Structure 1
Amino acid sequence: MLTNTTSVEIQFGDCDPAGIVYYPNYFRFFDNASAALLSAAFAMHKRNWLDHYGIAGIPMVDTGARFIRPSSFGDIIEIQSAITELGRSSFGVRHVVRRDGDIMIEANEKRVWVIRGEDGAIRSAPLPHEVRKLLGAA
């Protein structure tokens, strides 16, 4: 299925007092990497594909990570993101973080394609056929 790689330079503000990346910041990086993955698939920026497909977003409903090695201020990491599964209204994303080729983190997400109802509440919606195709469905 679809893959994309994003490069991130670790900033001073990403780190905790020990000088390593404060772990919640990785989830911010993963959120950006997921958006970049879909932007590459749809050939448009996130603000455009939200409007184009008429969705409210792609919230994360499940996540997990295995932290193998830390990263520090000034490191440049690469996040390889891949679609791993397609459900009716959800999709899985796997992120592998590398520095100089070494695996630093392995993470996964489950996200849901959501629309806003007439009452303003968000609810899941089926992945459109075009989206399924662009994300690598056979």
Structure 2
Amino acid sequence: MTREVVYPVRVEFGDCDPAGIVWFPNFFRWIDAASRHFFIACGVPPWAETTTTLGVIGTPLVDTHASFRRTATYGDALEIHTSISEWRAKSFVQRYRVQRGADLLMECEEVRIFAGKRADGSMFAHPVPPSIRALCE
């Protein structure tokens, strides 16, 4: 069974365009927050700590695909259901379902890596840390 974490979002007036519809980049902002919230809910320490203990500075996005099904507007209470559908050697696939009650508004899949930073400042993909995977399964 795949672990799922729900991240709540309240749509504010400023999240919407002049027609009162959520401006689509806000969904990606909320999904990014839901990604980190997933790890926190699973017991993964803050990235500042994993930087020191594991060399992992975060989980940057390397690919995304989204399907928008319905609109949202200010005042809506949304839930972002987050899970990891696939673990790979140096990346993972995170899935999101954005819902308003029973209504599915958006589905998204992202490929992310556990990033490290070299002495010259460049980033690289770490192998998936077994300790983090164990917490998230």
TM-score higher than 0.5 here?
yes
Compute the displacement of 1:119 (Å): 1.2
Residue aligned with 1:13, SS: helix
**Alignment partner, residue 101 of structure 1:** 102
The alpha-carbon distance between structure 1 residues 74 and 58, as it changes in their structure 2 partners (threshold 3 A), is same
1:74 and 2:75 correspond? yes
**Identity within the alignment, %:** 36
Shift of 1:17: 1.2
User: Quick one: which amino acid aligns to residue 78 of structure 2?
Assistant: I
Q: Extract unaligned runs of 5+ from structure 2.
A: none
Alignment correspondent of 1:59: 60
Give the structure-1-normalised TM-score.
0.91
- Would the alpha carbon gap of residues 8 and 46 (structure 1) be closer, same or farther in structure 2, given more than 3 Å must change? farther
Matched, 1:3 2:4: yes
Gaps spanning 5+ residues in structure 1: where?
A: none
Q: By how many angstroms is 1:50 displaced?
A: 4.7
Shift of 1:30: 0.3
Contact 2:47 2:58 in 1 (8 A): no
- Do the aligned residues in 1 keep the contact of 2:44 with 2:135 (CA within 8 Å)? no
1:127 is matched with which residue?
Answer: 128
1:42–1:49 CA contact under 8 A, matched in 2: no
Which amino acid in structure 2 is aligned with residue 105 of structure 1?
M
Correspondence for 1:23: 24
TM-score, structure 2 normalization: 0.92
C-alpha RMSD of the superposition:
1.5
Q: Determine helix, strand or coil for the equivalent of 2:59.
A: coil
What is the rounded CA distance, in whole Å, between the counterparts of 2:46 and 2:71 in structure 1?
30
